[in-house]
A and B are shown apart, each in its own frame.
Chain A
C-alpha cells in the first residue's frame, strides 16, 4: 500500500496548522475525504442535481439512478442479500434510533431485556434507555474484563431467554476493542433475541459481511469512512424490516394517501420519508469505490501496524496511561500524568497535531475507567509512522511544558 500516494488524494492533509504540517489523528471522530469523493459530490451538484423517484425528466432519472446505484454499492460492500435491506439514514445514530423506536417499541414488553455493554457510544445506549422506559423492558449490561474486552461466558450469563435485543459495538471508539460479533450473534439467536450491531467504528476498517455475521441489524456512518457527513446506513434482515413500521411519515415513503389513512411504499423506501440525502449517498458510493480499490485487508493491515507502532512508542513515555486491550483497532486512548487531556490536546494542536480529548460520547465507559476524560489518537489509511513520531515528540514537549509551568 502506497501511503504517500494515498495521502495525496486527501487535499486537506496538505496544509500547515499553527506553523506545522498538519498531523490528523482524529479519524475516529470523522475521516478526511479523498478527491474522488469531493468530485463525485461536486459533479452531482454541477450536472445531475434533481429530486429522486418522481421526475419524468432526464436529470430526475440520472439522480435516481445514481442514488439507487449507491444503494446497490452499499449492499455489495457489506454483502447483504438485497438492496431492499439497505436503508439510507443520516448516520449511525439515526439508524440505531430507527431500530429502537420501531422494532424496539413494537416488540418489547415489561419483563423483556435489552442487553448492551458498558463500552457503547452514547448512540447505542440512549435509544435503548428510552425504549426500555417506554415499554417497561429492562436494560442490562454485559460486564467488561479489566482489559476492556468481553468474554463469551459473560455474554452467555447476561443474555437470557427474556432477552429480546442484544446491541453491541463492533469496535470500541475509546478502547479499540474488537468484539466477537459473530459469536455474540449466535448466542443472541439461541435465546431468541435479535442482534443489533453499531458498525460506526467497524465499517471503515474491517471487512463487513452481514451474511457471515448473521446479525439482524447493522448500522454505520459514511463520514467515518471517507464519505460526506449526513449519510449513514441501516442494514436490516428483510423479514424484520417488512414487519416494522416507519418512524418518519411524509413524502417519498407512501404508496397511497387517503384523507384518513395511508399505505407505505415497499422496502427500503418506506423508511426514507422526505427527500433523501442524495449527494451524501453518491459520495458514499465514491468512498466505497475508493476503499475497495485500496482493499480492506490492506487498510486493516496498515492500521494494525500503526496501532502496534503507536503502542510501542507511546509506552516509552514516562507517566503515560494507555487504556484498552493489547489487540486493538487503529486507535490509542491515553492520559499523561498530571496533565488534563484538554491541556494535552491544546498543546498538541500548537504543534499541528489533531487529537480528540474528552469523554468520547462514552460517559459510562469513562466511569468504568475511573477517569473524567482522556486523549485519543486514531489512525486511518493516510496516517504514517512519522505521524506517530510527531505525536510522541509532541507529547514529550507537552510533558516538559506542563512540568515546568507547574
Chain B
C-alpha cells in the first residue's frame, strides 16, 4: 500500500463534507441534544435533532475531530433529515454493516453520500471515527 491507496479512504466527497460540512451549527429552540466522544482519540460531537411525531425535522452537529468523523457526521445529518427515527436507526445498523465490509444497498435506504465512507472498512483503526455520529444519533433515538 502507498499513498495512492489512501484514495480508498479519502474520497473526494468525504473531503468535500469535511471542508464544507453540511448542517454544522445549533438548532434554535427545543431539540434532542446528544454529546458523545471517542475517549481513545479525543474526537467529540454534539448532535441536535428536532423530532416531531417521530420524524427528524432538523439535525445539526458541532464537534471536533478528524476528516472521517466530521464528514461522517455531515453526511449522517443530511441522510436522516425528513426520515423517521425508526428509518434513521435502520440506516445506522446498515452503516455498521458497511463498516464491517458487508455490502449494503445505500440507494434503497436513501443514504445519500454515505457510500463514500465504504473505504473506511479497510482501515480498521478508523472505523470508530466513522461511527461516532451514528452512535450519537442512535442514543438520541433511544432517548426520544
Q: Which of B10, B15, B42, B64 contacts A358 (CB 8 A)?
A: B42
A347 touching B3, Cβ below 8 Å: yes
B136 in the interface, Cβ–Cβ < 8 Å?
no
Please pick, from A343, A357, A397, the residue contacting B3 in the complex, using a CB distance under 8 A. Answer: A397
Nearest B-chain residue to A341, judged by Cβ: B66
Chain B residues with Cβ below 8 Å from A350 are 1-3, 5-6
Q: Which of B49-57, B74-82, B88-96, B123-131 contacts A (4 or more CB under 8 A)?
A: B123-131
Choose from A346, A347, A366, A372 the contact partner of B43 (Cβ within 8 Å). A372
Q: How far is the CA of A373 from the CA of B67 in the complex (A)?
A: 13
**Contact residues in A for B126 (Cβ distance below 8 Å):** 342, 346
| Cβ–Cβ contact B15 & A405, under 8 A | yes
Contact of B66 among A18, A342, A397, A406 (CB under 8 A): A342
Please, which residue of chain B has its CB at the minimum distance from the CB of A397? B3
Contact residues, A348-406 vs B (CB, 8 A): 349-351, 357-359, 363, 366, 372-373, 397, 401-402, 405-406
Q: How large is the interface on B (under 10, 10 to 19, 20 to 34, 35 or more residues)?
A: 20 to 34
Chain A residues near B15 (CB-CB < 8 A): 405-406
Specify which chain A residues have a CB less than 8 angstroms from the CB of B12 in the assembled complex. 405
Q: Given A340-B65, A346-B9, A405-B12, does the pair A373, B41 have CB atoms closer than 8 Å?
A: yes
**Which residues does chain A contribute within 8 Å of B18, judged by CB atoms?**
406
- Closest-by-CB residue of B relative to A363 is B42
Decide yes or no whether A111 CB sits under 8 A from chain B: no
Q: Whole-angstrom distance between the alpha carbons of A358 and B43 in the complex?
A: 9
Q: How far is the CA of A136 from the CA of B130 in the complex (A)?
A: 42
State which of B10, B43, B68 has its C-beta within 8 Å of the C-beta of A405. Answer: B10
A347 to B123 CA separation, bound complex (whole angstroms): 11
Kindly report which residue of chain B lies nearest to residue A405, judged by CB atoms: B15
Complex Cα gap A244–B89 (Å):
53
B21-71 with Cβ < 8 A to chain A: 40-44, 64-68
Minimum CB–CB distance from A81 to chain B (whole Å) comes to 40
Residues of A contacting B67 with CB < 8 Å? 340, 343
Q: Mark A61-104, 1 if CB is under 8 A from B, else 0.
A: 00000000000000000000000000000000000000000000
Which residue in chain A gives the minimum CB-CB distance to B4?
A350
Chain A, interface residues (CB within 8 Å), range: 20 to 34
CB pair A351–B42 under 8 Å, yes or no, is no
Name the distance in Å between B73's Cβ and chain A's nearest Cβ.
Answer: 13
Task: Determine whether the beta carbon of B3 is less than 8 Å from that of A359.
Answer: no
Q: A18-B1, A19-B1 are in contact. Are A372 and B42 (CB under 8 A)?
A: yes
B2 to A346, Cβ gap below 8 A? Answer: no
In the complex, what distance in Å separates the CA atom of A320 from the CA atom of B6?
A: 21
- With a CB–CB cut-off of 8 A, which chain A residues contact B42? 358-359, 363, 366, 372-373
B64, closest chain A residue (CB): A372
Task: Give, as a whole number of angstroms, the nearest-CB distance from A406 to chain B.
Answer: 6
Given contacts A346-B123, A405-B12, contact A340 B66 (CB under 8 A): yes
5 closest A-B pairs by CB:
A342-B66, A18-B1, A340-B66, A359-B42, A358-B41
Known: A342-B43, A405-B12. 18 other contacts (CB 8 A): A18-B2, A340-B67, A342-B66, A342-B126, A347-B6, A350-B3, A350-B6, A358-B40, A359-B42, A363-B42, A366-B42, A372-B42, A372-B65, A373-B41, A373-B42, A405-B10, A405-B15, A406-B18
**Partner-A contacts on B (CB < 8 A):** 1-3, 5-6, 9-10, 12, 15, 18-19, 40-44, 64-68, 123, 125-126, 129
Q: List 25 A-B contacts (CB under 8 A).
A: A18-B2, A19-B2, A340-B66, A340-B67, A342-B66, A342-B68, A342-B129, A343-B67, A346-B126, A350-B1, A350-B2, A358-B40, A358-B41, A358-B42, A363-B42, A372-B43, A372-B64, A373-B41, A373-B43, A401-B3, A401-B6, A401-B10, A405-B15, A406-B15, A406-B19
